[in-house]
Amino acid sequence: MRLCLPLLALLAATPAHAAQFQFCWTGANGYTMEGLIEFPDALQNTGLITETDVTGFQIIGFLDGVAIGSWSLDQLTPGTSWTLRFDTDTLRFPTGGIRSLNSYQEWNASGQVNDCGAVGGFGFNGGNYAQDVCVDNVWIEDSSIDPETPLFAQPMDVALVCETVVPTS
């Protein structure tokens, strides 16, 4: 299991009563993302939760295995793009990019995927056009994959595995 030092630091600071899961996203052309989501234990197996329920969250972006940026919940400001849906029954982030179907994800990257921070900024967008990332306030079109690509979380004691996917055309 490859777990980055920033994720380990977040884990060390986590209260024992929090449910924690890790996830890995594989985009196109060598872009990947690892992350951690945390929420109160009482919300496990209760269905869909939103960004207002999450107590800890961190994502780290990579290009060909080299870190290119990160974002965590402690960096949240009133101007941050932050929409999250997570199914606590299936351990899945709903995908497809339809807000009314609760399948839209916006983690420090708006629908334009261009507002993730100027230096060291990183964000993820799961919209209806694609799933893709933002680096330093720039949409990385080369990272784009099909918006319906599943995104699952795994328990912390399971080796983190990313699946290879085919990019959108």
Cα angle at 44 between 43 and 47, to 5 degrees? 80
pLDDT digits (tens, 9 = 90+) for 19-40: 999 999 999 999 999 999 999 9
Non-local (6+) Cβ contacts of 74 within 8 A are: none
In a domain, 79, yes or no: yes
Three-state secondary-structure class, residue 133? strand
Domain count, the chain: 1
Per-residue model confidence as pLDDT tens digits over 77-129: 999 999 999 999 999 999 999 999 999 999 999 889 999 998 889 999 999 99
Domain limits for position 121: 20-155
Q: Does 162 fall in a domain?
A: no
The answer to whether position 109 is within a domain reads yes
Judge whether 7 lies within some domain. Answer: no
pTM of the model: 0.86
Whether 44 is in a domain gets the answer yes
Asked if residue 110 belongs to a domain, the reply is yes
Q: Would you say residue 65 lies in a domain? A: yes
For the record, the structure tokens of 28 come out as 């196109």
Neighbouring residues of 116: CB distance < 8 A, sequence distance ≥ 6: 69, 71, 108, 109, 122, 123, 134, 135, 136, 137
Domain-located, residue 8: no
